[in-house]
Structure 1
Amino acid sequence: MNQRIIRNARVVTADEEFTGTVCIEDGMIRSVDRGDTAVPNAQDWAGDWLMPGLVEVHTDNLEKHLSPRPGVLWNAHSAMMVHDAQCAAAGITTVLDSVVIGDLDAGGARCQTQHTSIAALHQCRDEGLMRVEHLLHLRCEVSAPDILEVFHQYADDSLLKLVSVMDHTPGQRQWRDLTSYRRYSERNGRYSDAEFDAMIAERKADQQAFALPHRKVIVQASRARNIPLASHDDTLVSDVELAIEEGVGISEFPTTVAAAQAARKAGLAIVMGGPNMVKGGSHSGNVSAAELAQLDLLDVFSSDYVPSSLLLATFMLGQLDGWSLPKAVRTVTRNAAHSIGLQDRGEVAPGLRADLLRVRMTQVGTPMVVETWLGAQRAH
């Protein structure tokens, strides 16, 4: 029997926070108790927080390593390993690597890395190279002409735990503001007015031709396989109503209060970005995570494109009226895990997998991950 006892820790359970002792046996949490222990060799955490490992349902962080500069494609195995190390250092013990399939930019980095990144995910897992557990989230750009061919290639992937249907056609959802869209789309090069207008017209034509038929096929195929579904950037109440009709369970990054309210009424899990919370608003000019949190319209945080944002956002959220640290921690642990059907993690509770964090507050008031444990094995 492999046993480890942690004492004098500031334990954060699903509902409360207290100084206590946690006993781990053979990779599982055996007991969680208030107060100290006299058991010899118990590890003293000196008042540091003991929290569940973070569960990440949507991160684009891998993309930054696959394409670190415009026109540069990096080795997928190297990118995966650095991404994995960053997740471990950020306290993320379960991560759904979000791979976009259906690239609106013909010949863009996403269409060039979608297959190599999924292959690297499997190969690195099979070789036991990962520090934390990586799973797959397919982000399906429904207005892309080639989406179905790629989707069917991975619909039965053993690691697939979430499918999201998204439509980034400018003029709606995330990109209602064409000025913001142009600024974002020109990050790697300028468009003339004529080029920009032609690109908008092409995107809208593809949406008209493909978006709804592709979405229908992807939703039906995912439901047939019992894969959780997410809608993306819901803006109008009608967007949420469509998701409800389709049996979608998650609303990722709703852009308006009205959409979030409709999602809450329907019982959809509402996901917002950690960077939105940390930076005080959306980079696209949409509703802020803090505003939705204050309206109790927030269930799950995603780190989106900054892994370290999960922990920062959690502690910021815990300071808002109506929130506590345990309630905030649930948004990055239990709520996230349950939204994708994982019931064996996400809490500091007996019988669950010992995915745990040791967290300390720095002198400048920033929470820092001191240790990350996956199934009681040190990952960071």
Structure 2
Amino acid sequence: MAFAETRLPAGRELTALKNARIVLADEIVTGHISFSGGEISSIDMGVAPQSGEDLNGDYLLPGLIDIHTDHFEKHVYPRAHVRWDPLRAALAHDAQIIGSGITTVFDSICVGATVSRPERREVLAPMIDALELAQSAGMMRAEHLVHLRCEVTDAETARLTEANIGKEIVRMISVMEHLPGRRQSKNIGAYIERRMADTGESRAEAEKNTRELLSFSDEISENVRLTVIDLAHKHELPLLSHDDTELHHVDEAVAAGITVSEFPCTIEAARKAKELGMDVVGGAPNVLRGGSQSGNVAVSDLMAESLVDILASDYVPRSLLDCAFSIAADDAFSEDLPAAIRLVTKAPAGVSGLTDRGELVRGKRADLLQIGVLEGHPFVKQAWVAGRRVL
């Protein structure tokens, strides 16, 4: 399903940017670009207009598209047991998003509680409401959409999903199962250690409560999963499977009509996903760190086999920009800069149904970034969203 329309205010005047290294989908050209009415009107390598703004050889990129970041929640809870006003948190989050070069962001908000975060049930609606209010009032600089991350181990997830999935800002759904011994958390011993630290339980209490959690969750997770998947299909939203680890996880996802494998935890699962025609999402922080923070497969190993279609920031918004330039500069990767930029622009636009953006092409939305580079570090000098300069 394509979501090409936007309610964002568009820049109406004709703007020309000249003397730029323009990063197209397949090549870099030196030239100038013009846009008006929120859309790109021309890309030219000829004589630059006298009135154009000189970018002095900086890169000109399409705005980055992030289909998964849970960073909004970190602004709502800046410290343990400190809950910040959701609207103020949304504005702080937006500043970090646009400063990272992300012009379209899918704020990934958890639906359902976990052992360490039971408050997620009650903050879900206020977080979505804050994003809707801030965006409709013109307070945001990036465009914010919502990616509901549905925790199938909580019996309340089905109800919460149904209550929020029909909101216009909600554009993506994923199903996830955060349980010890499953998917991302294969090591039950490590889970128990984290639980003891999070809850203050003794080892005996943590082990007992973990056994009860697994028994209880098995009773509800399949029904919740099927309900969430049915709701996503009913609303024609992109649907992702989170943390595929075993081959049967991929088979189950494909059988349910899921088309994207998000953050597969093993190379075997990623291979199976590609074999069955799924798009694969990798975490940009994983690439920059040189491996997974939870001990799962390194995204660089997946990329060595051409198993990654999209990169998402996951928990560090700035990682998208850094990762794309890092990949292009590293001989260990086969991607040049246009190919690396596609992973964070055109490819995520495609899977999310945003057909109006994601590459520098005449008629596409004028979401643009002027990028300088200092000692290998890219940084945003200016940003435009729908032709309106926002940074």
Provide TM-score, normalisation by structure 2. Answer: 0.93
Q: SS at the partner of 2:219?
A: helix
Aligned to 1:111: 121
- 1:12 pairs, out of 17, 23, 38, with 23
Give the letter for the 2:152 counterpart. V
- 1:259 pairs, out of 258, 261, 269, with 269
Cα RMSD over matched residues? 1.5
Contact persistence 2:264–2:270 (CA under 8 A):
yes
1:334-369 per-position Cα deviation (integer Å, ceiling 9, x unaligned): 100111111100001111000000111113x21111
1:21 aligns with 2:21: no
Q: SS at the partner of 1:347?
A: coil
- 2:359 pairs, out of 344, 347, 355, with 347
Contact persistence 1:59–1:302 (CA under 8 A):
yes
Alignment partners' CA distance in 2, 1:170 and 1:50? 45
Contact persistence 1:53–1:93 (CA under 8 A):
yes
- 2:368 pairs, out of 348, 351, 356, with 356
Give the letter for the 2:60 counterpart. L
Alignment partners' CA distance in 1, 2:370 and 2:197? 38
Alignment partners' CA distance in 1, 2:103 and 2:14? 20
Identical residues among aligned pairs (%): 37
**Unmatched 5+ stretches in structure 1:** none
1:123 deviates by 1.0
Contact persistence 2:196–2:202 (CA under 8 A):
no
1:317 deviates by 1.9
Give the letter for the 1:310 counterpart. L
Aligned to 1:378: 389
Aligned to 1:330: 342
1:43 aligns with 2:53: yes
Contact persistence 2:31–2:48 (CA under 8 A):
no
1:89-134 per-position Cα deviation (integer Å, ceiling 9, x unaligned): 0000001111101112276332232121011011111211111100
Alignment partners' CA distance in 1, 2:109 and 2:351? 19
Contact persistence 1:71–1:109 (CA under 8 A):
no
Alignment partners' CA distance in 2, 1:187 and 1:85? 32
Aligned to 2:9: none
Number of residue pairs matched by the alignment: 378
Alignment partners' CA distance in 1, 2:141 and 2:196? 36
Alignment partners' CA distance in 2, 1:66 and 1:163? 21
Aligned to 2:143: 133
1:19 deviates by 1.3
Give the letter for the 2:257 counterpart. G
Give the letter for the 1:75 counterpart. D
Aligned to 2:242: 232
1:66 deviates by 0.5
1:206 deviates by 2.7
1:193-213 per-position Cα deviation (integer Å, ceiling 9, x unaligned): 112212321321232111111
- Spell out the pairing of 1:139-154 with structure 2 (5 A cutoff): 139-154=149-164
Provide TM-score, normalisation by structure 1. Answer: 0.96
Give the letter for the 1:379 counterpart. V
